[in-house]
Amino acid sequence: MSEIGLPQSGDEGEFGKFDLYSVPSPCFVVDEVAIERNLSILADVKAQSGAKVLLALKAFSMFALAPLVAKYLDGTCASGIYEAKLAAKHYGGSLTTYCAGYKLDDLPEIIRLSDHLIFNSVAQKDRFLPLVAAARNKGEAVSLGLRINPEHSEGHTERYDPCAPCSRLGIPVSQLTADDFSDIDGIHMHTLCEQGFEPLERTWRAALPQLAPYLHDLKWINFGGGHHITRPDYDRKGLIASIKSIRAEYDVDVYLEPGEACALDAGILVGEILDLPTNDKQLAVTDISATCHMPDVIEAPYRPAMLGERDSGPSYLLGGPSCLAGDIIGEYVPAKVFEIGDRFAFLDQAHYSMVKTNTFNGVPLPAIAVWNSTTNQTRIVKQFSYDDFEQRLS
């Protein structure tokens, strides 16, 4: 391993042959062939296990590819009113909505749009039951669930661990009572983040003793997201066997909500070198901002892999154009020595980066493009302008 370390994630797939100068900069480029590859794997798991598989819009909501998603999956899951409306408008299929805290004004429309409505607490469920009853009297058939906290931690980073101490996400299983399941059809259990099957299996077994008294009265169990099902080393046979066993033993439908797995290694973020100053190290100022375009680089934190990166040679400390001193992406050895105007790309940027972008400091948003790695055809599906920035303000 080199002094600056190797990439922690990212497979270049077919992007090694993509012309980085064929799109504006910065630009997200998503390979629809890679997306379809991931979706077909999920569809196979669905077919073999009998599970229902939903795309988590919080991770990947590029609705230009919604028809492709609809071809393979059962629908989507939303985190609130805006994602629910996006799902209904562009994706179709089944819609599950979960939010840590619903607003009264949003609920009537969310209930109308959703097939499953999941509450984060018994108090919210009881508070909003009259709204659900009113909707059902109008013919709407929404199924209600509760998010539970298995109180079994598998997370690597506390801020991404729903089972961390004092978590606000879900009802601790140790607090559940029979009364809590009044009017409830299912439970939701989302505890993973970029993980394999084994953590899911351990979590289920840890929670089972306290959940067992209620499971035979349920209609469905939702195991949430965070499953890296499309990763080559994922134990898909184990997942399929576990789902089949749970469905048979408790006579329930089983739902999965992969987000990253739908878009894993399917997109890049193209950028350009703007300046090459030095200050103890060789620096590179780019039009990609960590804080604006890849916030998880700072929040997680993590180091995105670079297309064509080498493990030895002249290195550059890459940072963005914003005024934030910490707008640093990382230190890299590119395939060749950088010159001003050169293009480069970070790998595995289709999920989360795109949905988390912001315009802090007036930094422009990246364009969005769809590429077909089989035909080498590219189409720009979205370009942002000053108007997009201005209209967010007042």
Q: What is the CATH number of the domain that holds 197?
A: 3.20.20.10
Are both 249 and 276 inside the same structural domain? Answer: no
CATH classification at residue 299: 2.40.37.10
Helices (H), the chain: 32-49, 66-72, 81-90, 107-113, 122-137, 197-215, 236-250, 260-263, 290-293, 296-299, 353-356, 386-390
Q: Are residues 259 and 278 in the same domain?
A: no
Q: What is the pTM of this model?
A: 0.95
| CA–CA separation, 69 and 72 (whole Å) | 6
Report if residue 40 sits inside a domain: no
pLDDT, residue 2, reads 27
Q: Is the separation of the CB atoms in 383 and 365 below 8 Å?
A: no
Would you tell me the crossing angle of helices 197-215 and 236-250 to the nearest 10 degrees?
0
Residue 1 reports pLDDT greater than 70: no
Is 289 found in the same domain as 225? no
Number of domains in the chain: 2
The SS3 assignment for 280 reads coil
pLDDT tens per residue across span 146-181: 999 999 999 888 888 999 999 999 999 999 999 999
> Is 132 within a domain?
yes
Tell which of 228, 244, 263 closes a domain.
263
Say yes or no: 257 and 273 in one domain.
no
To the nearest 10°, report the CA torsion of 290, 292, 293, 294.
Answer: 40
Question: Given a cut of 90, is residue 318 above it in pLDDT?
Answer: yes
pLDDT in the model for residue 31: 98
Q: What is the pLDDT of residue 8?
A: 37
**376 located within any domain:** yes
Residues 254-269 have a mean pLDDT of 98
Question: Are 117 and 234 in a shared domain?
Answer: yes
| pLDDT number for residue 159 | 86
In a domain, 143, yes or no: yes
Whether residues 149 and 203 share a domain: the answer is yes
Q: Helix, strand, coil: what percent of the chain each, to 5?
A: 35, 20, 45
pLDDT value of residue 156? 80
The answer to whether residues 254 and 135 belong to one domain is yes
Given this model, what pLDDT does residue 362 score?
Answer: 97
Task: Quote the CA–CA distance of 119 and 142 in Å, as a whole number.
Answer: 13
pLDDT at 9: 52
Q: Please provide the average confidence, as pLDDT, over all residues in the chain.
A: 95
**Domain-embedded: residue 361:** yes
- pLDDT category of residue 311 using cuts at 50, 70 and 90: very high
Nearest to 381 by CA among 16, 25, 17, 27: 27
Contact status, residue 202 vs residue 154, Cβ threshold 8 Å:
yes
Q: Is residue 2 part of a domain?
A: no
What tokens appear for 377 in the block? 């055809």
* Same domain? 191 vs 300: no
Distance CA 178, CA 180 (A): 5
Same structural domain, 156 and 175: yes
- Angle formed at CA 42 by CA 37 and CA 44, multiple of 5 degrees: 95
Q: Are 83 and 232 in the same domain?
A: yes
DSSP 111-150: HHH-SEEEESSHHHHHHHHHHHHHHHHTT--PEEEEEEE-
Q: Which of 263, 295, 326 is a domain's end point?
A: 263
* Domain finish residue from 206, 235, 263: 263
**CA atoms of 265 and 314, how far apart (whole Å):** 26
Q: Are residues 329 and 205 located together in one domain of the fold? A: no
Say which DSSP state 181 is in.
Answer: G
Calculate what percentage of the chain has a pLDDT beyond 70.
98
Residue range 108-133, pLDDT digits in tens:
999 999 999 999 999 999 999 999 99
Q: Are 159 and 134 in contact (CB under 8 A)?
A: no
User: Do 114 and 252 share a structural domain?
Assistant: yes
- For residue 27, the SS3 value is strand
Question: Does any domain span residue 206?
Answer: yes
- Taking each helix axis from N to C end, the angle separating 32-49 and 236-250, rounded to the nearest 10 degrees, works out to 40
Say yes or no to pLDDT of 252 above 60.
Answer: yes
State which residues form the domain around 353: 15-30+266-390
